[in-house]
Amino acid sequence: MQDEIISQCRPFSALSNEDLYELLRLRSQVFVVEQNINYQDLDGQDTAAHHLLLKTPENVVIAYCRLLPPGTACRETKIGRVVVDRTWRGRGIARKLMQQALSWCRALYPGVEIRISAQKHLKGFYAQYGFQVCTGDYLEEGILHVGMIRPADDPSAGYGIRLRIRYLGHSAYLVTTPKRCLLFDYGSHPDRPAAGSLSSGIFNTDELPDLPLYCFASHQHRDHYSPELHRAMAKRPGTNFILGLDEEPDCAATELSSGRTTFAWPHRIFQLDDLTICCSGSTDSGVSFMVRAPEAVIYHGGDLAVWDDQEFYQRVYREEIDWLLQAGWLPDLAMLPVSTSDGYQEEPLLSGLWFCLKKMKPAVILPMHGAGYEHLYRRFADLAGNYSQGEIFVPTVAGDLFFFDR
């Protein structure tokens, strides 16, 4: 459906009567009805702005913001009146809107800083696009806000980078960036043919670009780890294997290593080339990974989930998520276990996921841990829109390919 969304950016004088009505309708729906703000929406600045609208083919505006030229509301370019229709949230529309808003700001007002007055609970979302907090907290129409600025032509924002994300079944994903390939939790189970193509869900190094390869295994359960793959990759040039353990090994445990293997254990933070890797503990075995690369921040949950309604699972899960976020990173991609391996998706598991989504605020969410039960990925996605503004990629079969433009 996103391919059918129409994007338009127009000065006030070029808006049709229908477009003007639609954007004002959506602003009123969100700010006045939904958020119960009693304020003067028509503030005299719309006539100076460019207006960015995302519309359905039926000309219904589903997302909107206005772009004020520098010197109008402040010395910077200002993005304001950011709204997404509530029925379209959780589908990546907010991300699409923000990407296009920044592209238009750069085109209309090159070399100028961009300011936004962000509702405080959304500052992590805007930080993913290079915005930095520049004020303390303040109340605006009764809602806590914080001022944020994106530096002009900020190279750290990472725009123009495309990530290829391949679902390889169960908890396995292959992420390819312009600088590297990262393989997560490609296990011996479910059973796979020894040879095949990436498009059929089989990891095949012959199809990889000539880039460094980093293979991650969160722990040694066979649905997350393949000893055969480990042995092969530890000998492959330009490849690092990162293996999660339950605890820090003693000296004897280093005998497990063959070639370039790096061990990870709960609460270890380490550097590997230009990657910074944070490893949480788990509610089952091994670790989860938060990987910060220059291109993106990637989270793979391993077996960290609320697997049961016992207090232990809930407490440890929340402690580990909170520990990961102490580093101050929010993931661009988050691969999350949304099902037990035997096809259950019960309330404790889901409630843990909602906690995670509210805390991490990932730009893209990738469900996993459901080989043979991929229909549960769609069920998760249908519910998750109530807890996240991130885009949710929903694989249906091993080999499915997705793209994320950062």
C-beta of residue 92 within 8 angstroms of C-beta of residue 392: yes
Rounded CA separation 176/96 (Å): 21
Query: pLDDT tens-digit profile of 65-109?
Result: 999 999 888 889 999 999 999 999 888 899 989 988 998 888 788
pTM summary value: 0.65
Instruction: Give the CA radius of gyration of the chain.
Output: 23
Query: pLDDT tens-digit profile of 331-382?
Result: 999 999 999 999 999 999 999 999 999 999 999 999 999 999 999 999 999 9
Two tokens, residue 198: 């990436």
Architecture of domain 162-405: 4-Layer Sandwich (3.60)
**Domain segments of the chain as ranges:** 2-157, 162-405
pLDDT (0 to 100) of residue 143: 86
In this structure, whether the domain defined by 2-157 belongs to CATH 3.40.50.12140 is answered with no
CA dihedral 82, 87, 90, 94 (to 10 degrees): -20
Query: pLDDT tens-digit profile of 139-177?
Result: 887 889 999 999 986 444 455 578 999 999 999 999 999
**What is the percent of the chain where pLDDT is above 90?**
68
